[in-house]
Amino acid sequence: MTGAESTSLLAEPMLPVPYLVAGRAAETHDCVTLRLEPARDSLPPFQPGQFTMLAVPGVGEVAISISGDPAAQDGTLTHTIRAVGAVSTALHNASVGTPLGVRGPFGTTWDLASATGRDLVIVAGGVGLAPLRPVMLGALADRGSYRRVCLIAGARTPAEFLFRSELAAWSRRPGIEVELTVDQPAADWDGQVGFVTEPLARLPVDPARTTAFLCGPEPMLRFAAQVLQRKGILAGDIRVSLERNMQCGIGLCGHCQFGPILVCRDGPVVSYALAGPLLTIREL
């Protein structure tokens, strides 16, 4: 894609670009990872933390975080999708060759580069691991730029972990700490049982040199951030990815308003210094 073509795509943020499903991998009983290839022109490169608007012709459009490798900027897109509604179910069921419309990438990033020289604490709950996968892959690809790298991931059951082969490979890498925990034990599970806040509470940290990345259900975000703050980590050093009803992706429709911000424009990744007070207001 030429620079002029890229500029043209950015100038038409409401115009879907045609992509095709080029690969499909089942993650759990209701989650799949789709690899999308451009049918013609590709969208601009993405940054970890951003999302796209995926459209299924005749069904609708939905915001989905990008779960791909940030180093693989070859025009393809990777999204991990859980079937929870009409559009996400149609995406979940899409076979190889299915045409889709894609807009984006939109939103703020995890800004991993700003954590250079610091410890990384990555906390994921359920499908929250998908938006955090690019953070892990980016940190592993540039391992010498960061001190400690610790991932704590939780799921309801062992069968509901995303990227299970990658989790196993990451746990075997020297200098990488991986803690997995489940809400409900299973007969073949010999790991931890409990919420992610439990291994997080036991984790020793250097609060002055730690940046935390959190993604998952909002109660998890609140409780995990509180654990980190009790350890002395500043709210400004805790980054969270928010989820709201994003329908336009560019801050026009207002459906994703969250207090003073529009999540599609000002998020989804924001500092907990901003998100924390908002997450305590039930009406939001």
pLDDT of 186 over the 70 cut: yes
Same-domain check for residues 118 and 101: no
The reply to whether 223 falls in a domain is yes
The reply to whether 59 falls in a domain is yes
The neighbouring-strand residues paired with 103 are 53
What is the per-residue pLDDT across 29-79, written as a single tens digit (0 to 9) for each? Answer: 999 999 999 999 999 999 999 999 999 999 999 999 999 999 988 899 999
Same-domain check for residues 102 and 122: no
Out of 56, 80, 106, a domain closes at 106
Pairwise CA distance, residues 239 & 109, whole Å = 10
Pairwise CA distance, residues 65 & 223, whole Å = 23
Domain residue limits at 248? 112-279
Please report, for the domain that includes residue 273, its CATH number.
3.40.50.80
Same-domain check for residues 171 and 270: yes
Same-domain check for residues 52 and 121: no
Per-residue pLDDT, averaged over 123-146, amounts to: 97
pLDDT for position 185: 81
Q: 282 or 147: which carries more pLDDT confidence?
A: 147
Same-domain check for residues 218 and 199: yes
Pairwise CA distance, residues 118 & 116, whole Å = 6
Q: 25 or 12: which carries more pLDDT confidence?
A: 25
pLDDT band at 183 (very low <50, low <70, confident <90, very high): very high
pLDDT for position 11: 56
pLDDT for position 12: 83
Work out how many domains the chain is built from and give that number: 2
Average pLDDT, the chain: 94
pLDDT of 125 over the 50 cut: yes
Name residues whose C-beta falls within 8 Å of residue 64's C-beta, 6 or more positions apart in sequence.
51, 52, 53, 54, 79, 81, 88, 91
Alpha-carbon distance values, 33 to 24, 120, 215, 278 (Å): 6, 25, 18, 31
Q: What is the pTM of this model?
A: 0.94
Element (H, E) at 167: helix 164-172
The reply to whether 235 falls in a domain is yes
What is the per-residue pLDDT across 81-119, written as a single tens digit (0 to 9) for each? Answer: 999 999 999 999 999 999 999 999 999 999 999 999 999
What is the per-residue pLDDT across 192-203, written as a single tens digit (0 to 9) for each? Answer: 999 999 999 999
Out of 57, 84, 106, a domain closes at 106
pLDDT for position 251: 93
Per-residue pLDDT, averaged over 180-200, amounts to: 92
What percent of the chain stands above pLDDT 70? 96
Half-sphere exposure of residue 115, counting CA atoms within 13 Å on the CB side?
Answer: 28
Same-domain check for residues 17 and 98: yes
Please report, for the domain that includes residue 21, its CATH number.
2.40.30.10
Same-domain check for residues 65 and 190: no
pLDDT of 3 over the 60 cut: no
The reply to whether 284 falls in a domain is no
Name residues whose C-beta falls within 8 Å of residue 149's C-beta, 6 or more positions apart in sequence.
119, 120, 122, 136, 139, 140, 143, 175, 176, 177
pLDDT band at 170 (very low <50, low <70, confident <90, very high): very high
pLDDT of 188 over the 90 cut: no
Q: Which residue has the tokens 């604490």?
A: 121
Per-residue pLDDT, averaged over 216-242, amounts to: 97
